[in-house]
Chains A and B, each alone.
Chain A
Amino acid sequence: MTYQLLGITVLWIFLFGYMIVASIDFGAGFFSYYSTLTGKKSLIHGVIERYLSPVWEVTNVFLVFFMVGIVGFFPDSAYYLGTSLLLPGSFAIVLLAIRGSYYAFSNYGSKDNKFYLFLYGASGLLIPASLSTVLTISEGGFIEVTGGKVKLLYGTLFTSPYSWAVVLLALVSVLYISATFLTYYAAKAKDLSALTVLRKYALAWSMPTIFASLLVFFAIQKHNPEHFQSMLDYSWMFVLSLLCFIGAFYLIWRERSYGWAFLLVMIQFALAFFGYGVSHLPSIIYPYIHLYDNFTNRTMALYLIGAFLAGLLLLIPSIYLIMRLFLFNASYVEGTKPKKG
């Protein structure tokens, strides 16, 4: 495996990690707010809060890691993405800032503040939409470089069926991933009333997710036929992904093995995400950033990979610890232990 391939794989894994944890987080915020509107707050709020409280800070790190990593491995991407993404990027930062801080404000400071909860819930749905712009413009056709000046073509972006399909997919998959995870978590917590509500959410968002995925397929065929062609070379990944979806849907529908169901959902998205990623190669941002032409120098790549491995040695035990203490700790999940100071 070349350094280039290793570098982009590392980044892609982190982006996938962010997608999963952030989806759970964003969706949970939305469901939390939605449940106060529909008077079901008492049913599911406890489960959501018990999961989110110890991990909310960690989510952001995945994103920052990806951001720093892509600039580190592909310094030219800072130039193209930086200039063109100023508006959507800033929009996403503002939303992330509102969301992150108001989560802390409403959970640690001012409990039951409906306005804070609204900010937290609503912003969570807009962030995936604005972040997905990066994936959209990486397909090419949305950036114009004239006289050394990089410009994002907003007109083309807002009228492209492809970009809307991506936004739609980002939105519904956030809700779907989140609902399946929370269903599993509620089942673990033996919280039957929360389980009933969340299971309904999971089933409700499953069909839109698969529909939006198909939409993206069609749109990409129109927008970037070359990429679509190479996606067909990896069609086995997308077929397997669909099978995982069906498996997860079946399990949730028959009300059993929610843990396996969520695992299948993760595999479903992993296959689709990596299938999409690998078929996109060797271009990173079509046609400007190329896996082999715009890679950082060899020395820095070696150091970055070394730092990454050292970092993993630190992170994996820590993540294991947080799982043992919270996510997979029966008495914590069931809420029978005192929670905080």
Chain B
Amino acid sequence: MHFPNDPETLSRILTGLTLGFHIIYATVGVGVPLMIALAEWMGIRRKDSHYILLARRWARGFVITVAVGVVTGTAIGFMLSLLWPSFMQIAGQAIALPLFMETFAFFFEAIFLGIYLYTWDRFKKQTTHFLLVIPVVIGSSASAFFITTVNAFMNTPQGFTLKDNRITDINPLKAMFNPATPTEVSHVLTSSYMTSAYILAAIAAFSLLRRKDHVYYKKALKLTMVAALVFSFATAAVGDLSGKFLAKYQPEKLAAAEWHFETKAYAPLVIGGFLDKNNEIRFGLKIPYALSILAHDKPSGVVKGLNDYPVDERPPLFVHYLFDGMVSIGVFLIIIAVLYNLAFIWRKWSPYNRLLLRGILWGGPLAMLAIECGWIYAEIGRQPWILRGYMKTSQGATTSDHVGLILIVFASLYVVLGFTSVKILRKLFRNHPAEEELAHLEANAGKEVRL
């Protein structure tokens, strides 16, 4: 097989690899602080030390994921300039503001995370310590907000005039709050919260499936699954808005995802299937009118087709599978969350039904897979542009001859980091089982419990 060996392709692979690896840790980094805050708040309000222990154990594991998130995030910060110098030359002038503010948000989060982790027993009032987690939540979500506006800008650039590689008439706020910003930012935030809730729920479900039936795990499952329900619905709602956004501003991306070639009204939504040589859809499940409804809220909505675009400005068609993957996982996650919460309210079925627990267990990794699918779809679906309508990806890439070597080095780094972080996390919780800490708690029951 011919392996493409030009700096552009290699830079794309390396950037994709880095971002693909980083978002695993970044998603957890955005969502888990919120879950920690929720658990600690519940613990204080209900005077229930189980929730405090939950927050504490989550925070311990969180440190490991944050470390990998920080270092891979630093890598991306550098890589943008190293691999895409011409792009950054433009972006530096148009969107330096959110990039700059993202580091401030990160700074803020880093400082308070350090304080939070080392002050569990420092203050007389529990709420004082709880207050320290709020800046961490704000900081992590704010950095996701700012960095996503940069990505949104790449999808719908505005707020500047580009002439001969020189930028004039710049309006930083207009560039930052571009048409893609509202839907993209809210989809990133809600899906991160949902994924983190599901991952933590999967851990609780895993323990319950192992017949550890301490009430601690049940509390953990309930807290996370209620959050998962809320955030999975929010994610879906924002996803629907994103579809409408695409139809209006990036129709070629939506059309590529749906293999929609002819511009027309009453467009069907295609699920699965494959394309034959003549770009005819085979074996796909067509839902009549659904694409028009997704795009314009009415069956008569006209959806722009790919044939309206020159061949060299069309995204690759395999993004269809990524879109399908993301949406079907999303639907699965909503169903599981609804079933669990119904079971919990009605009490007719057990919320600890083993099949349901298994579904929750699968929900964690699947949610992460959906994040990956969604991001790859969003990024590949923008090809061939790096700045849609302004700069092709090939114009932004480095001309250096060393990208191949660096790709190998970074790929090995990610393998090692991924492997070690999982190993460390498992060891961390295996060597300090919750039961041990719970026994310690119960032995001290009645006395003032300080964890």
Contact = CB atoms under 8 A, between A and B. Distances in A.
B99 A68 contact: yes
Contact of B120 (A76, A100, A303, A340): A340
A307 B56 contact: no
Interface stretch (A23-31, A82-90, A238-246): A82-90
Interface stretch (A54-62, A135-143, A203-211, A258-266): A54-62
Contacts of A105: 64, 67, 420-421, 424
B86 interface: yes
A123 to B, nearest CB: 11
Interface residues of B, number: 78
Interface residues on A, range: 35 or more
- Most chain B beta-carbon neighbours within 10 Å: one of A71, A73, A296: A71
Contacts, number: 235
Contacts of A100: 67, 70-71, 74
Nearest to B420: A105
Nearest to A106: B424
B90 A82 contact: no
A311 B101 contact: yes
Contacts of A299: 170-172
A341 B79 contact: no
B96 A296 contact: yes
Contacts of B94: 300
Q: Which of A82, A94, A310, A339 has the most CB atoms of chain B within a 10 A radius of its CB?
A: A82
Contacts of A307: 97, 100-101, 104
Contacts of B99: 68, 71-72
B96 A341 contact: no
Grouping DSSP codes into helix (H, G, I), strand (E, B) and loop, the A interface class, with mixed when no group exceeds half, is helix
Contact of B85 (A56, A79, A310): A79
B111 A322 contact: yes
Contacts of A80: 85
A97 B71 contact: yes
Contacts of B114: 53-58, 322, 326
B168 interface: yes
B66 A319 contact: no
Contacts of A296: 92-93, 96
B434 to A, nearest CB: 13
A297 interface: yes
Interface of B: 56, 59-60, 63-64, 66-68, 70-75, 77-79, 81-86, 88-94, 96-97, 99-104, 106-108, 110-115, 117-122, 135, 167-168, 170-173, 398-400, 402-403, 405-406, 409-410, 413, 417, 420-421, 424-425, 427-428, 451
7 contacts: A57-B66, A71-B92, A83-B82, A109-B427, A150-B399, A300-B94, A326-B118
Q: Which 8 pairs from chain A and chain B are nearest by CB?
A: A72-B96, A75-B92, A82-B85, A104-B67, A109-B424, A78-B88, A97-B71, A54-B114
